[in-house]
Structure 1
Amino acid sequence: MLIAQISDFHVVPYGTLAYGRVDTRNMLARAVVALNRLQPQPDLVVLSGDLTQSGDPAEYDVLMAILAKLRAPVAPAAGNHDDRDAFRAAFPSVVATSAPSPFIQYVLGFESLRVIVLDTVTAGSDAPEFCDARAGWFAETLAASATPALVVTHHPLFMTGIPWMDPESLAWTDPIRRVVEAYPGRVTGFVCGHIHRAIHTQAFGVPASSCPSTAHLVALDFGAASPRLSMEAPGFQLHAWNGLGLTTYTASLERFGSDFSPGDPRL
């Protein structure tokens, strides 16, 4: 099974640029073209939050027009830049299976893997949270099947080392940790967005990774106490599940598809 992941689109209305300089619409459109060229095609494309810049319904209209060209089915997650009501209106099939309200959490079942999307958003804040109601649903979902699960969150469940992006502590992840520890071996990996960079580490002893943005990246500055963004090449990730383990690949969208043969392999 092959799962693609794209993240943090920050789509803005037509005629505008994010932060006055980033053409997030066109950059997402380029990502869709790149994913459509993949062979084999992904079985699923995870959209790991911050799909829009401000959660405005007009931004979701632009978003859905771009995503309509994507060949593979999607699994969207809400981010701190999204609005839950507008998100639900844009993705009605998610609303039909999501629980508990008002949170956007759901599970997609495949033959040998389940994809569980969790809601780590705090309304009106960039800070992450995960309450007892969300944790209760997560526990019930893990308990319902022994099929391995790939868990999607927007916020990382680990410290990134970039001060202005990290919460004061990881105490907010304790409800998730307790559920994972109650069902050992059922979560095969965590994937997230938010950080706009590829990071590979662990959370609660489980492999965890973050996906680069399709647009601007967060600057790799371990001393930055205030926001610093970067126009490095955007990217995406591919998660390959073979029934036993998960392998994650990170690829750049810059010049994607410009492969060539070097001829003499010794050159």
Structure 2
Amino acid sequence: MSNAIDRRDFLKLAGLGGVVFASGLPGFALAAGQDEFYFVQLSDCHWGFEGPPNPDAKGTLKKAITTVNALERQPDFIIFTGDLTHTTDDPAERRRRLSEFTQIASDLKVKTVRFMPGEHDSALDNSAAYREFFGATTYTFDHKGVHFIVVDNVSDAGASMGGEQLEWLAADLRQQKTDSPIVVFAHRPLFALYPQWDWATRDGARAIDLLLPYKNLTVFYGHIHQEHHHMTGHIAHHAAKSLIFPLPVAGSVPKRAPLAWDASEPYKGLGFRGVSVDTQSGQTALSEFTVVKKAQANATDKT
């Protein structure tokens, strides 16, 4: 049985409220040749992290890439939404980790791969090393009639976007119609999810005010190492799982700390997502993927 969804089915599902959570469809993808497309979001790889709770810290990213490469239908593009590497005070080590990450990511079959920084990549040097490898930390692109905006709420160690970037965002948005389909990528949440754990953007409310006039706009982010969905007015915000370790639900424990590795369910809480986009309305359908299939997760060999 094919897992592809045709345009009529997609619109039927999207009509349920603008977003479809298709976790039960591991091969979820839109049918080829339609007015829809899909991309893959990976986040929080933390390349260079070692030790508990992930005993396969050097293999998890590679396994995820193998899983993406094995998708029945390859996405139009792939985006990594920050924390490509784990933080280090050593500038040379930071560049070594970025270089290794770049080499690993080059194994993706899809050649249109986009990147953005997380605070682990950028906060200690205002993205200087990141820019050497990947260029600008803010940019836009268009794909099949959908406008994509990448914002930077991590290069500033104080977790602010800053007035200059907000002006840039406002100027870009003015070029769009209020009913244009728009997708925004950030690393931290733009809304105040849980500031006590650094799960917020200090001037994120100003960014959201700029976004609210646009009727068909969705935000995807990372940083919190878990799937999470939130609405600010009509704007949906979706956090992606991590590829290194999961974190607890906001405020559920006194201190933010990685969740323990479960040897009976390896890679539990880790994964990536596919996002299918209707080019006419900007409606999105989400499909959550595990790092590896269960049989692979239980295998003893490490890559």
> Which category of TM-score, normalised to the shorter sequence, fits these structures?
0.7 to 0.9
Establish whether residue 81 from structure 1 lines up as the match of residue 120 from structure 2.
yes
Identity of aligned residues (%): 20
Q: Shift of residue 215 of structure 1?
A: 1.4
Partners in 2 of 1:136 and 1:247 — Cα distance? 30
Match of 2:229 in 1: 200
Cα deviation for residue 194 of structure 1 reads 0.2
Greater RCO, 1 or 2 (C-alpha within 8 Å, sep 6+): 2
Residue equivalent to 2:275: 239
Shift of 1:171: 5.4
Q: Shift in Å at residue 224 of structure 1? A: 2.4
* Deviation, structure 1 residue 160: 3.9
CA distance in 2, matches of 1:89, 1:19: 30
- Distance in 1, matches of 2:55 and 2:191, equals 28
SS at match of 1:166: coil
**3-state DSSP class of the match of 1:218?**
coil
- Does residue 184 of the first structure (1) align with residue 217 of the second (2)? no
Tell me which of 21, 39, 42 is aligned to 2:75. 42
Q: Read off the aligned partner of 1:201 and give its amino acid letter.
A: H
Matched with 1:263 is none
Q: Describe the shift of the 1:162–1:256 C-alpha distance in structure 2 as closer, same or farther (beyond 3 A).
A: farther
Q: Which residue of 1 aligns with 2:47?
A: 11
Provide the C-alpha distance between the structure 1 equivalents of 2:258 and 2:77, rounded to a whole number of angstroms: 29
Q: Using the TM superposition, name which of 246-255 and 146-155 deviates more.
A: 246-255
Superposition pairs of residues 98-247 of structure 1, within 5 angstroms:
98=136, 104-123=137-156, 125=157, 127-146=158-177, 147-160=180-193, 164-167=197-200, 172-181=203-212, 183-185=213-215, 187-220=216-249, 222-230=251-259, 231=261, 232-243=268-279, 244=281, 245-247=283-285
Deviations 1:184-203 (A, max 9, x none): 22x52000000000001213
Between stretches 44-53 and 222-231, larger displacement belongs to: 222-231
CA contact (8 A) 1:108 1:115 kept: yes
Structure 1: how far apart are the matches of 2:169 and 2:85? 26
Pick one of 128, 133, 142 that aligns with 1:90. 133
- TM-score by structure 1 length? 0.81
Q: Deviations over 1:100-120 (max 9, x none)?
A: xxxx10011112212210000
Q: Is the 8 A contact 2:43 2:242 kept in 1?
A: yes
Partner Cα separation in structure 2 for residue 30 and residue 7 of structure 1: 14
Equivalence map 1:21-36=2 (5 Å): 22-36=55-69
The separation in 1 between residues aligned to 2:82 and 2:226, in whole angstroms, is 14
SS in 1 for 2:120: coil
- Corresponding residue number in structure 2 for 1:252: 290
CA distance in 2 between counterparts of 1:117 and 1:240 reads: 18
Shift of 1:254: 3.9
Distance of aligned partners of 1:162 and 1:234 in 2 relative to their CA distance in 1, 3 Å threshold? farther
TM-score, structure 2 normalization: 0.72
Offset, 1:255: 1.7
Query: Partners in 2 of 1:25 and 1:144 — Cα distance?
Result: 43
Change (3 A) 1:33 1:61: same
Contact 1:117 1:152 in 2 (8 A): yes
1:265 equivalent in structure 2: none
Secondary structure at the residue paired with 2:119? coil
Say if 2:83 and 2:117, in contact at 8 Å, map to a contact too: yes
Q: CA RMSD in A?
A: 2.4
